[in-house]
Structure 1
Amino acid sequence: MKVLLYFEGEKMLAKSGIGRALDHQKRALSEVGIEYTLDADCTDYDILHINTYGINSHSMVNKARKMGKKVIYHAHSTEEDFRNSFIGSNQISPLVKKYLVSLYSKADYLITPTPYSKDLLEGYGIKVPISSISNGIDLNRFEYSEEKENAFREYFKIKENQKVIICVGLYFERKGIIDFVELARKFPEYRFIWFGHTPMYSIPRKIRTIVKEDHPMNVEFPGYIKGDIIEGAYSAADLFFFPSYEETEGIVILEALASKQQVLVRDIPVYKGWLEDKVNCYMGKNNEEFDYLIKSLVQENLPNTCQAGYKVAQEKSIGRIGYELKEVYEKVLKTGDSKQNKQVYLEN
């Protein structure tokens, strides 16, 4: 078995959760002994496992169909998580949904990160078989390291006993960036650090203004940082606060859980079945609840859920994900001929 992992715009998306998902797929396939290639010109593969939905991705699907290859689409994106992101995203989201349905329906099989996103896709009327498989997490990368924690503290000049709350995400309203800043105003004694970056030209003015100037002194936007500093931040911070309104999974949550960090998230449907309030994380519905929870968790007035959270990360380790991907690949190869593109594909 040989798999072509295709990822359009890899450099542009490398800083996103989808970019990390590709890295995890490569690791997962290697761990279970499945040969893969990233070469889009390769022709001796058995399955096209495609992660993106740009114009080139559309062409790759058609090309694979003409060669009679099996196609698995990794459905990272939905209309719901496209909204409240880039400039004009809400206006064109119905068109994005229509395009996604058209593209996903050409696959032999769909993989999506959570049961929640699987339900969304089935609700679109897609008839292709769908499995929910987590994007996974590299547990070794987020093991405790005093050296990494020191790198984080030195980089940000964290003072002794200073409380630090972090979030990791793109500069999207959907991610809860407005709430993150508003809550920071209520805790001037804490440092709030939002890791991540999105090109300013692509996001609405009100979000640009928040990031550039309209935030209190205790909020920092250092941009995209990788390696020891961010990995040290995950474990050294006092709280990982992720107020996102919509996700298909949220790799950054898995990273925080793998770091044995205390996690606080918004109570939204995507976490059903794997995150549980007051068991392996804490959940809030609005800023009033977040206000209470942030103060209580940072001051350690509520039971710690870090160990239970780490068990969630263990269940989604890259090794386990590799076997789940392998099972889907084998299932697809055992089915009959791949979807024929009918005459329409041959004419394109």
Structure 2
Amino acid sequence: MKVLLYFEGEKILAKSGIGRALDHQKRALSAVGIEYTLDAECTDYDILHINTYGINSHNMVNKARKMGKKVIYHAHSTEEDFRNSFIGSNQLSPLVKKYLVSLYSKADYLITPTPYSKDLLEGYGIKVPIASISNGIDLKRFERSKTKEEKFKEYFNISSNQKVIICVGLYFERKGIIDFVELARQFPDYRFIWFGHTPMYSIPRTIRTLVREDHPKNVEFPGYIKGDIIEGAYSAADLFFFPSYEETEGIVILEALASKQQVLVRDIPVYKGWLKDKENCYMGSTNEEFASLIESLIEKKLPNTCESGYEVAKQKSIERIGHDLKEVYETVLNRGHTNESEQIYLKN
């Protein structure tokens, strides 16, 4: 079995969750002994596993079909998570949905990160079988490291008595960036650091202004940072606060859980079945609730859920994801032409 992993615009998307998902796929396939290639000109593969949605991606699918290859589309995106992101995204979202449905329907099988996103896709009327498989997490990479933590503290000049709250994400309203800044205003003694970057020309003016100037002094936007500094931040911070309104999974949450960090998220449907309030994380719905939870968690007035959160990350390790991907590949190859009514369900 040989798989062509195709990823259009890799440099552009490398800083996003989709970019990290490709890296996880490569490592997952290596872990279970599946040969793969990234060479789009390759012709001796058995399955095209495609992750992106541009015109070249569309052409790759058509090319694979003409050669009689099997096609698996990794459905990272939905209409719901396209909204409240780039300029004009809300106006374009119905067209994006129509385009995604057209692309996804060309596949023999779909893979999507969570049961929630699987339900959304089925609600679009897509008849292609869908498997829910997490994007996975590299547990070793996010093990607590004093060296990494010191690099993070030195980079940001964090003193021993400072309380630090972090988030990682693109500069999208959907990610809860407005709420992040608003809550920071209520806690001037805490440092709020938002890691991540989005080209300013692509986001609405309100978000550009928020990032550039309209935020209190205790909020920092250092941009996209990788390696020891961000990995040290995950474990050295006092809280990972992710107020996103819509996700298909949220790789950054898995990274925080793998770091044994205390996690606070918005109570949204995507977390149903794997995140549980007061058990492996804390959840809120309004800024009033978040304010109360932030203060209580930072001041250690609530029980710590880090160990239980780590158990969630363990269930989504790259090695486990590799076995799930292998099962889908074998299903597609062994069944010949996929019957639209056939489904398999993978439990993560």
Give 1:338 shift: 6.6
Q: Does the 8 Å contact 1:21/1:135 carry over to 2?
A: yes
Alpha-carbon separation, structure 2, partners of 1:327 and 1:161: 49
Q: TM-score, normalised by structure 1?
A: 0.97
Alpha-carbon separation, structure 1, partners of 2:338 and 2:26: 24
Q: Does the 8 Å contact 2:172/2:203 carry over to 1?
A: yes
Q: Does the 8 Å contact 2:278/2:305 carry over to 1?
A: yes
Letter in 2 for 1:248: T
Counterpart secondary structure, 1:90: helix
CA distances 1:88-131 after superposition (whole Å, capped 9, x unpaired): 00000000000000000000000000000000000000000000
CA distances 1:214-268 after superposition (whole Å, capped 9, x unpaired): 0000000000000000000000000000000000000000000000000000000
Q: Does the 8 Å contact 1:192/1:220 carry over to 2?
A: yes
Which residue in 1 is equivalent to 2:171?
A: 171
Counterpart secondary structure, 2:161: coil
Q: Does 1:224 align with 2:247?
A: no
Which residue in 1 is equivalent to 2:74?
A: 74
Which residue in 1 is equivalent to 2:325?
A: 325
Which residue in 1 is equivalent to 2:39?
A: 39
Q: Does 1:50 align with 2:24?
A: no
- Backbone CA RMSD of aligned residues: 0.7
Counterpart secondary structure, 2:292: helix
Which residue in 1 is equivalent to 2:139?
A: 139
Q: Structure 2: 5+ residue runs without aligned partners?
A: 340-348
Which residue in 2 is equivalent to 1:334?
A: 334
Q: Does the 8 Å contact 2:108/2:337 carry over to 1?
A: no
Which residue in 1 is equivalent to 2:240?
A: 240
How much identity, in percent, do the aligned residues show?
86
CA distances 1:16-46 after superposition (whole Å, capped 9, x unpaired): 0000000000000000000000000000000
Q: TM-score, normalised by structure 2?
A: 0.97
Q: Does 1:65 align with 2:65?
A: yes
Q: Structure 1: 5+ residue runs without aligned partners?
A: 340-348
Give 1:161 shift: 1.1
Alpha-carbon separation, structure 2, partners of 1:58 and 1:212: 36
How many equivalent residue pairs? Answer: 339
Which residue in 2 is equivalent to 1:114?
A: 114
Counterpart secondary structure, 2:273: coil
Which residue in 2 is equivalent to 1:192?
A: 192
Q: Does the 8 Å contact 1:175/1:246 carry over to 2?
A: yes
Q: Does the 8 Å contact 2:77/2:248 carry over to 1?
A: yes
Letter in 1 for 2:309: G
- Within 5 A, what are the aligned runs for 1:248-287? 248-287=248-287
Counterpart secondary structure, 2:3: strand
Give 1:160 shift: 1.2
